[in-house]
Amino acid sequence: MQAASHCYPLHFSGRGSYSKVSHVNVNVLSLNWLPQRFDFNQGAQICKVLKPIKLKRFCVIPNSNDGHPSLPVSEEDTTASKEDASTVEEWENGGETFLSKWSPPRYLWRGLSVPILAGQVIIRIIKGKVHWRNTLQQLERVGPKSVGVCLLTAAFVGMAFTIQFVREFTRLGLNRSVGGVLALAFSRELSPVVTSIVVAGRIGSAFAAELGTMQVSEQTDTLRVLGANPVDYLVTPRVIASCIALPFLTLMCFTVGMASSALLADGVYGISINIILDSAQRALRSWDLISAMIKSGVFGAIISIISCAWGVTTLGGAKGVGESTTSAVVLSLVGIFIADFALSCCFFQGAGDSLKNCV
């Protein structure tokens, strides 16, 4: 520790006069390397930290109120004090740990929310925590209010496929096989997939938009404050309604698709309706319709869970709601196609003989 005495001339200026003070003695204390001791008692451990003290610069500025010099803290002292505070805060929090500043990307935790939400829905259904009034409302919305667009789509898809099949089968002399081929195509693939695509565009987008709007407007937090679980009140009824309504929509679409195909084949290509229906009856088996209903139920669960998960994880206001709606529909369609491939591999293995009786 060293102490020195120096003389510095100080000049003070007032409003209308200039005065000079001859000399003022200022004692400067030079602290080149002065350790300070900090003791932190944590149970039986004592941590001693040695911290160097830097030289500080001070400037004397006159005080216009009373004429006495004032000694303010310099910017260097302020910066040092902030660094000291941040260092003490790190020590109190245990220091910086591994991955403490890393946050998972949005698509990762959004993707993880889908199986988590599905597990919560299954647990609540098993425990009987279902809001039946909301379930009936969503069932009416998914089922009866979606019948028109689903049947219209199935009718035109059936007629389009009839044109392609009849043209080729007629050249081969296999007119009696047209009905069986159409029945198998509709029951196994076209009816469940087309119905699910229509429902994903109409209902899945509505689910994502509604729950996304509720999330950004903090209505889901209001439900939690009122003591209601958002999964019980919002998600579970939508999942149950989708899983119940889609199998019945699939059967209706299958019926309308076959009827439109038979009418077109009879009216345009001269193949009797009786031949079409008889061929379809010979080719179809009960498992074909059961597998179609199972597929449509799985597709309904995929649509509702993905749409609800994307809705409750929406961020960013109105723009985030639009992005969540679009991505929910796209991911639902991708999930439908992947699940269709997996279920088809499980349900239909080996060589088939369904068309053997139609030739």
Q: What is the pLDDT of residues 119-178, one digit of tens each?
A: 999 999 998 888 888 899 999 999 888 999 999 999 999 999 888 888 888 777 777 888
What is the structure's pLDDT at 300? 94
Confidence of residue 16 (pLDDT cuts 50, 70, 90): very low
What is the structure's pLDDT at 228? 82
- CA triple 334-339-345, angle to 5 deg: 135
Lowest mean pLDDT, pick from 77-81, 113-117, 274-278, 325-329? 77-81
The enclosing H or E element of 25 equals strand 18-30
The rounded percent of the chain whose pLDDT value lies above 70 is 69
9: helix, strand or coil: strand
At residue 77, does pLDDT exceed 50?
A: no
Tell me if 214 sits within 8 A of 263, measured CB to CB.
Answer: no
- pTM exceeds 0.85, yes or no: no
What is the structure's pLDDT at 34? 44
Q: What tokens does 95 get?
A: 């220091």
Confidence of residue 10 (pLDDT cuts 50, 70, 90): very low
Confidence of residue 305 (pLDDT cuts 50, 70, 90): very high
Distance CA 140, CA 201 (A): 17
Distance CA 22, CA 9 (A): 6
What is the structure's pLDDT at 101? 67
- Of 275 and 302, the structure prediction assigns the larger pLDDT to 302
Across 56-67, average pLDDT: 53
Tell me if 302 sits within 8 A of 336, measured CB to CB.
Answer: yes
Distance CA 195, CA 151 (A): 9
At residue 52, does pLDDT exceed 90?
A: no
What is the structure's pLDDT at 69? 52
Average pLDDT of the residues of the chain: 77
The rounded percent of the chain whose pLDDT value lies above 90 is 33
Pair type for strands 69-70 and 61-62? antiparallel
| Ramachandran sector of residue 67 (left: φ over 0; alpha: ψ -120 to 50; beta: rest) | left
What is the structure's pLDDT at 168? 82
Tell me if 121 sits within 8 A of 236, measured CB to CB.
Answer: yes
At residue 329, does pLDDT exceed 90?
A: yes
Residue where the block lists tokens 């020590």: 91
What is the structure's pLDDT at 5? 44
At residue 43, does pLDDT exceed 50?
A: no
Tell me if 242 sits within 8 A of 303, measured CB to CB.
Answer: yes
Phi first, then psi: give them for residue 2, nearest 5 degrees. -130, 140
At residue 200, does pLDDT exceed 60?
A: yes
- Of 153 and 357, the structure prediction assigns the larger pLDDT to 153
What is the structure's pLDDT at 219? 86
At residue 115, does pLDDT exceed 80?
A: yes
Read off the pLDDT of residues 212-248 as tens digits, 9 standing for 90 and up: 999 888 888 888 888 888 888 899 999 999 999 999 9
What is the structure's pLDDT at 105? 74
